[in-house]
Amino acid sequence: MPFDAAQLAQDTEAFCQEIRPEEEVCYAERRPNPHVVPLAKKHNLLGMNIHPDYGGRGADNVSYFRALARIGREGTAVRTFFSGHLSIGAYPIQTWGSEAAKKKYLPAAAQGEKILAFGLTEPDAGSNPREMTTTYTKKGDRYILNGVKYLISNGGIADAVIVFGYPAERLHDPNKRMSAFILDTHQKGFEKESFAPEAKMGMPTSNTAMFEMHDCEVPEENLLATEGEGFRVAMGTLVSGRLSVAAGCLGVIEDCLAEAIAYAKLRRQHGKEIARHQLVQEHIAMIEMDRVASEALVVRAAEMKDRAEAKRGDPELARQADILAAQAKFFATNAAWDAADRAVQIFGGKGWSTLYRPARHLMDVRVCRIYEGTDEILKLKIASSVLGKEWEAFK
């Protein structure tokens, strides 16, 4: 069946309307939202961008990112689940997985039978994943992995995680390159620990975890791309992840705008609605500019990603998709932070309370300037794209 963009938008809307009251309660009680997966399954959103051959809907990037923007209005925590499961979970399997791996994981992911996550970061390797210490050795037809992954979205609820490690021989040979694998979490030697919601600055309703791998086994067919290609897989996946974060932030801005307008038209001070005060209108105008500029960048980046995927192997299209995703992510995450801050200001004292949406957006969206490439790393990337690669400030 051909992909139906209008149906996806309709199903996403229905999901968002059902998830909102559940998210409100879970947020107030500072606990993970158990309704995200069942409701996403009910509305057939767990395989939005997975190819129909593997049980998904086969959404193009523009439609998929519009859906993520709509979901982003319901909060960064809800959208982060989808990014972990699809943009950085299913995407690398679909792009670099063996046929056996695609058949094993993608239909199950689309059905919600397998939840996915992406584990690149380690306690001592964040902005520079090349400093990771996870290792693997090959034993017959299996890889044996040892190491620790840290701050992983969905890491405590995932059935399978995309993980990265170096061959153990790297200890003696620094030229050995990292590889990427799909790791089943339900096995001996896999130990996970989720962050307590109260230990997190925002997103108390989502799962963030660390996990240890002690001699965990990965079958040969779960290698992504070829051995030594792990860094390429990681960077390619981050293009998809960054766009998903940018799209989610567009949704945050849209919700902040809607909340700010509704409140400013209702609240009266100095004898009139605060929406009639010029300095309040300045905030509204700036949130609207955050919205239109972010939307333009997200759509431009998603269209370029569609073009690059239609002509896989074209290095110039891949380079442009990479840099446009970085620009969209950098801009939209900062714009969302600004929009949430302005919405808090318009709400006055109530804005400071997490009983209202602006404060929740403000705390939740802050992480978007950190994960999937910090502000600083993205600025350096954008600078080198115009200065020339030889000027790259980090190697």
Annotated catalytic residues are 372
HSE, side-chain direction, 13 A CA sphere, residue 2? 3
Neighbour count for residue 224 (Cβ, 10 Å) = 26
Nearest to 148 by CA among 107, 120, 111, 174: 120
Nearer to ligand FAD, 48 or 157 (CB): 157
Kindly state the smallest distance separating residue 207's Cβ from ligand FAD, in Å.
10
Neighbour count for residue 330 (Cβ, 10 Å) = 23
Kindly state the smallest distance separating residue 296's Cβ from ligand FAD, in Å.
26
Kindly state the smallest distance separating residue 374's Cβ from ligand FAD, in Å.
3
* Among positions 45, 68, 86, 151, the unique one binding ligand FAD when judged by CB under 6 A: 151
Q: Which two tokens mark 261?
A: 């307008």
Nearer to ligand FAD, 118 or 263 (CB): 118
Kindly state the smallest distance separating residue 105's Cβ from ligand FAD, in Å.
17
Give the number of residues in contact with ligand FAD, rule: CB under 6 A: 20
Determine the Cα–Cα distance for residues 73 and 84; give it in Å rounded to an integer: 17
Kindly state the smallest distance separating residue 272's Cβ from ligand FAD, in Å.
41
Q: Which residue is nearest to ligand FAD, using beta carbons?
A: 126
Determine the Cα–Cα distance for residues 94 and 47; give it in Å rounded to an integer: 11
Check residue 84 for interaction with ligand FAD (CB under 6 A): yes
* CA–CA distances in Å: residue 18 to residues 38, 132, 136, 168, 380: 11, 40, 43, 48, 40
Kindly state the smallest distance separating residue 99's Cβ from ligand FAD, in Å.
26
Nearest to 134 by CA among 216, 37, 61: 216
Which SS3 state, helix, strand or coil, does residue 382 take? helix
Check residue 382 for interaction with ligand FAD (CB under 6 A): no
* Strand extents, DSSP E, the chain: 116-119, 135-139, 142-153, 160-167, 179-184, 190-194, 208-219, 223-224, 268-269, 272-273
Nearer to ligand FAD, 15 or 211 (CB): 211
Check residue 370 for interaction with ligand FAD (CB under 6 A): yes
In the block, residue with structure tokens 């981050």? 238
> Would you give the DSSP letter of residue 34?
T
Check residue 40 for interaction with ligand FAD (CB under 6 A): no
Determine the Cα–Cα distance for residues 179 and 41; give it in Å rounded to an integer: 32
Nearer to ligand FAD, 27 or 347 (CB): 27
Check residue 118 for interaction with ligand FAD (CB under 6 A): yes
Check residue 205 for interaction with ligand FAD (CB under 6 A): no
CA angle 85, 89, 90 (to 5 degrees): 95
Check residue 152 for interaction with ligand FAD (CB under 6 A): yes
Calculate helix-pair angle for 375-387, 315-347, nearest 10 degrees. 140
Determine the Cα–Cα distance for residues 82 and 215; give it in Å rounded to an integer: 29
Nearer to ligand FAD, 199 or 279 (CB): 199
* Among positions 55, 107, 112, 126, the unique one binding ligand FAD when judged by CB under 6 A: 126
Check residue 119 for interaction with ligand FAD (CB under 6 A): yes
Kindly state the smallest distance separating residue 353's Cβ from ligand FAD, in Å.
23
How many whole angstroms from its chain centre is CA 233? Answer: 16
Check residue 237 for interaction with ligand FAD (CB under 6 A): no
The binding track of 159-198 with respect to ligand FAD, each residue x by CB under 6 A or -, is ----------------------------------------
Check residue 367 for interaction with ligand FAD (CB under 6 A): yes
Check residue 250 for interaction with ligand FAD (CB under 6 A): no
Q: Is the dihedral of CA 57, 79, 130, 209 positive or negative?
A: negative
CA angle 261, 67, 222 (to 5 degrees): 145
Q: Which stretch binds ligand FAD (CB under 6 A): 7-15, 45-53, 148-156, 216-224?
A: 148-156
* Among positions 153, 205, 207, 320, the unique one binding ligand FAD when judged by CB under 6 A: 153
Kindly state the smallest distance separating residue 304's Cβ from ligand FAD, in Å.
23
The residues of the shown chain that bind ligand FAD, judged by CB under 6 A, are 84, 118-121, 126-127, 151-153, 208, 367, 370-372, 374, 376-377, 380, 394
